[in-house]
Amino acid sequence: MAKKKKAWSGRFDGQIDAFVEEFTASIPYDVLLYRHDIEGSIAHARMLGKQKIIPQGEANRIAAALAAIREDIEAGKISFDLSQEDVHMAVEQFLTRRLGKIGGKLHTGRSRNDQVALDLRLYLRDSIDDIVLLIAKVKEAILARAEEVFGVVMPGYTHMQRAQPVLFSHHLLAYHEMFSRDQDRFRDARRRANVSPLGAGALAGTTFPVDREFVARELGMEGVCENSIDAVSDRDFAADFLYASAVTMMHLSRLSEEMVYWSSAEFGFLSLPDALCTGSSIMPQKKNPDVPELIRGKTGRTYGNLVNLLTVMKGLPLAYNRDMQEDKEAVFDSARTVKESLIGAALLLRGMTVNEERMRAACDDGFLTATDLSDYLARKGIPFRRAHEIAGKIVRYCEKSGKRLKDLSLREFRSFSRKIGEDVRDFVSLTNSVRMRNVRGGTGPRRVKSRLEALKKP
Ligand code: ARG
């Protein structure tokens, strides 16, 4: 089979080895960049025309043909093949097929090195916009549920042991805070990615009188990279994105883990809707929480993607090295994983049924208000360390006699300290325990309510 001519074949004798062609090609995955590649090329072509680097009429024809190529790709009318090596060469080939010699003028004053850096930046910008919106959906779902279950008390945990009662809304809103910071991290990554490397050429800049700022403006970018070597060498902006993705997945994974065990028979705090679960092929009674399990499981690959890129970049001499072609799959994979996981999380949050009784029942034993008992004693003037010890003894007494704090008589309480009065029982009630934590950021209902209201404002 006759091989197609490569764009760089001028200085080469004979054909490329078939294995090497396949080994070096990025087209099997970088086709995902075709829209961004075309967007960048249209801006570049307009600039070439405006600067009279190529005739304006030809620039216009190139821009129009590129737009038509985009439509054809979208309509499935043209397809890519391995010999094209990468998406950049493929698009250029489609262009020359349409325009002949004129198509060959597009690459004036540009290199694939600055081109690929631009494409990845544009891709990340789009992905980040999608992700920030999807996080907003998750946050909306959290707010809606937090409002709906306002007043429901559950055990808060440390070391996975029942610790202190908290409002379930407060627990949910903790995730809201995390996801807001995740959005910030993505926006921050976007800001750094949204700078144009075009004009850097292969690494040293270009001899043509290009207008770099014009290209950046056309693309809605914030500015241009100030150093041509940096522009084609670094992928820190992609690492920023991978880090933001990894952290978001970490948060989603923790939420998922809670959904998994809260929906178990042992906890029964939640049940997940049938539509989001699957059955077992052998155990007829099973309803498995696959969606949160997979979100939890997919977190691993996003950590891997971050370490992957950091490792690819580590020790690379400036400027472009072919190693950097390996940046793409990590980025594509994390982008897809985060998006899918956010969609799944929003569905789970909206669909879950909250079992208020089970949450409250779990608060009933386990001495969740033992801290309040020591606070009570400290308020009566007993030094906190001593108060803590007395409360500990009371808990031990309860455990031995199979009683809960609220079952103790005043006499029993007073056998541990004469300072204990009739008001102790109210003080150590669940409702009071939560209500008294009226500190900013605490689980006190008034505080939680006002945070809820504040978060609801756009
Ligand atoms: N496919 C390449 C990549 O993804 C494009 C840049 C190629 N540059 C080069 N000098 N071979 O990195």
What pLDDT, in 10s, does the model give residues 216-270?
Answer: 999 999 999 999 999 999 999 999 999 999 999 999 999 999 999 999 999 999 9
Residue 324, ligand 1, Cβ within 6 A: yes
pLDDT at 366 over 80: no
Ligand 1 atom showing the smallest separation from residue 85 Cα: 1
Task: Give 138 Cα–ligand 1 centroid separation in angstroms.
Answer: 37
Ligand 1 atom showing the smallest separation from residue 322 Cα: 12
Ligand 1 atom showing the smallest separation from residue 328 Cα: 4
Residue 116, ligand 1, Cβ within 6 A: yes
Task: Give 325 Cα–ligand 1 centroid separation in angstroms.
Answer: 6
Residue 325, ligand 1, Cβ within 6 A: yes
Angle formed by the axes of helices 290-313 and 236-262, nearest 10°: 160
Ligand 1 atom showing the smallest separation from residue 202 Cα: 10
Domain locations along the chain: 14-108, 113-355, 362-456
Residue 112, ligand 1, Cβ within 6 A: yes
Q: Which of 60-69, 205-214, 427-436 has the lowest mean pLDDT?
A: 427-436
Phi/psi of residue 163, each to 5°? -120, -70
Helix (H, G, I), strand (E, B) or coil at 32: helix
Contacts of 219 (CB under 8 A, 6+ apart): 39, 40, 43, 118, 122, 196
Q: Are 86 and 42 in contact (CB under 8 A)?
A: no
Helix (H, G, I), strand (E, B) or coil at 86: coil
Give mean pLDDT, residues 177-206.
98
Q: Is the dihedral of CA 182, 187, 190, 191 positive or negative?
A: negative
Q: What is the pLDDT of residue 49?
A: 98
Q: What is the pLDDT of residue 15?
A: 86
Residue 86, ligand 1, Cβ within 6 A: yes
Task: Give 116 Cα–ligand 1 centroid separation in angstroms.
Answer: 7
Helix (H, G, I), strand (E, B) or coil at 84: helix
The class that CATH gives domain 362-456 is mainly alpha
pLDDT at 129 over 90: yes
Give mean pLDDT, residues 394-422.
93
Give mean pLDDT, residues 329-352.
98
Q: Are 80 and 31 in contact (CB under 8 A)?
A: yes
Angle formed by the axes of helices 112-148 and 236-262, nearest 10°: 30
Q: What is the pLDDT of residue 14?
A: 80
Q: Are 422 and 431 in contact (CB under 8 A)?
A: no
- Alpha carbons 319 and 235: distance in angstroms, whole number: 11
At 309, the amino acid letter reads L
Fold of 14-108: Fumarase C; Chain B, domain 1 (1.10.275)
Q: Are 349 and 252 in contact (CB under 8 A)?
A: no
Give mean pLDDT, residues 361-382.
91
pLDDT at 303 over 90: yes
- Alpha carbons 334 and 303: distance in angstroms, whole number: 9
At 219, the amino acid letter reads L
Q: Are 202 and 320 in contact (CB under 8 A)?
A: yes
pLDDT at 436 over 70: yes
Give mean pLDDT, residues 171-186.
98
Active site residue 159: yes
Residue 107, ligand 1, Cβ within 6 A: no
Active site residue 36: no
Task: Give 350 Cα–ligand 1 centroid separation in angstroms.
Answer: 44
Of the residues 264, 280, 409, 450, only one is catalytic, namely 280
- Alpha carbons 453 and 446: distance in angstroms, whole number: 11
Task: Give 246 Cα–ligand 1 centroid separation in angstroms.
Answer: 26
Q: What is the pLDDT of residue 143?
A: 98
Q: What is the pLDDT of residue 4?
A: 63
Give mean pLDDT, residues 148-155.
97
Which tens digits make up the pLDDT trace of 1-13? 445 677 777 778 7
The class that CATH gives domain 113-355 is mainly alpha
**Which of the two residues, 287 and 132, has the higher pLDDT score?**
132
Q: Which of 21, 89, 116 most suits a substitution to test ligand 1, by most atoms within 8 Å of the C-beta?
A: 116
Q: What is the pLDDT of residue 136?
A: 98
Q: Are 87 and 28 in contact (CB under 8 A)?
A: no
Mean pLDDT over all residues of the chain? 95
- Find the DSSP H helices in 17-149: 18-24, 27-30, 34-50, 56-74, 87-99, 112-148
Q: What is the pLDDT of residue 365?
A: 75
Percent of the chain at pLDDT > 70 equals 99
Which tens digits make up the pLDDT trace of 14-29? 888 999 999 999 999 9
Q: What is the pLDDT of residue 1?
A: 41
The Cβ of residue 208 has, within 10 Å, a number of other Cβ atoms equal to 15
Which tens digits make up the pLDDT trace of 26-85? 999 999 999 999 999 999 999 999 999 999 999 999 999 999 999 999 999 999 998 999
